[in-house]
Amino acid sequence: MGRYFGTDGFRGEANKTLTADHAYKVGRFLGYYYGELKRRKGDETPAKIVIGKDTRRSSYMFEYTLVAGLTASGADAYLLHVTTTPSVSYITRVDGFDCGIMISASHNPFYDNGIKLINAQGEKMEEETISLVEDYIDGKVTLFGKELSEVPYALREHIGKTVDYASGRNRYIAYLISLGMYSFKGIKVGLDCANGSAWNIAKCVFEALGAKVTVINAEPDGLNVNKDAGSTHIDGLCRLVREKGLDVGFAYDGDADRCLCVDENGNVVTGDHILYIYGKYMKERGKLVPNTVVTTVMSNFGLYKAFDEIGVDYAKTAVGDKYVYEYMQKNGCRLGG
């Protein structure tokens, strides 16, 4: 782990551990770095960087300071506004952005926040680039063979611009809907949006697929994200499913990159359960190629015993979706968590 960025970004209490000045410096570096990479390849167009945020009050502060840093360095900043971490990854990749930034502290309380960096392939940023960002935050970075304490400001027509890119978020919603292979007509679905990023996305997707949707914790005020809500406080969704007689429930965290389920009896379906259910589903249909599900060392022993019984192999990585994804990519695995 680096000096500021861990396995899931630069995270801490807003304006204490993670300050507006940090965000400005991140923007200044990324704007210059990606622009200079393009110039060295003969491409004079500005770097394009897309930004999403969750519903925390401080997310607006960090969004504006990131934009100030990016545009001061000559990059164009595209704003998805309140959206999910997976949507930033998707849009970064399919729309040809040089990198993406998500402002969120995931399942943490409202007073925390974070900056997640995403590369052009929609994956978590490479450690080499993150190390350069950290060097710049610390006041000195060796870049393109030169030692710099500051990167140049853009001047005149080279100063960057800001673009409203809400259309990208809408296209991500359409992409999710397109993944639905079956109609959900007649299915009663409960959603706990944690007063976070999923509050204006999840309901749209399930209703478009035909489900009858009941939503809780979809009234963000900047201070209530994850507060007694979402995937870390799933009791509310369990009660909702039981009391309303729903067929299934889904609970998200603040930036909707984490999900837990509740069955029709109000019982929690954990991440390990989800891996087992979908691993079995894929194996039965010949889609689990290779015959391996990737887990972390935090997975329950019962999951491995259940996989043994149905003939599914498994791998164990360090804790963190980054490590799961790296193993999947290296070994061609199709399912992990």
List, by residue number, the catalytic residues. Answer: 106
At 36, the amino acid letter reads E
* Tokens (6 digits) for 218: 């979809």
Spatial separation of the C-alpha atoms in residues 201 and 207, rounded to whole Å: 10
Spatial separation of the C-alpha atoms in residues 239 and 324, rounded to whole Å: 32
3-state secondary structure of 236: helix
Residue whose pair of structure tokens reads 């589903």 in the numeric block: 281
Spatial separation of the C-alpha atoms in residues 145 and 128, rounded to whole Å: 15
CA 326 vs. chain centroid, Å, equals 16
CA 6 vs. chain centroid, Å, equals 14
Q: Helices (H) and strands (E) in the chain — how many of each?
A: 10, 17
Spatial separation of the C-alpha atoms in residues 215 and 199, rounded to whole Å: 9
Tell me which residue of 221, 190, 189, 176 sits closest to 84, measured CA to CA. Answer: 176
Q: How far is CA 90 from CA 93, 97, 262, 316, in A?
A: 5, 10, 27, 26
- Considering only CA atoms, give the Rg of the chain: 21
Residue whose pair of structure tokens reads 């350069």 in the numeric block: 132
DSSP for 86-98 reads: HHHHHHHHHTT-S
Q: Which helix (H) or strand (E) holds 118?
A: strand 112-118
Whether residue 290 contacts residue 331, with contact meaning beta carbons closer than 8 Å, is answered with yes
3-state secondary structure of 235: helix
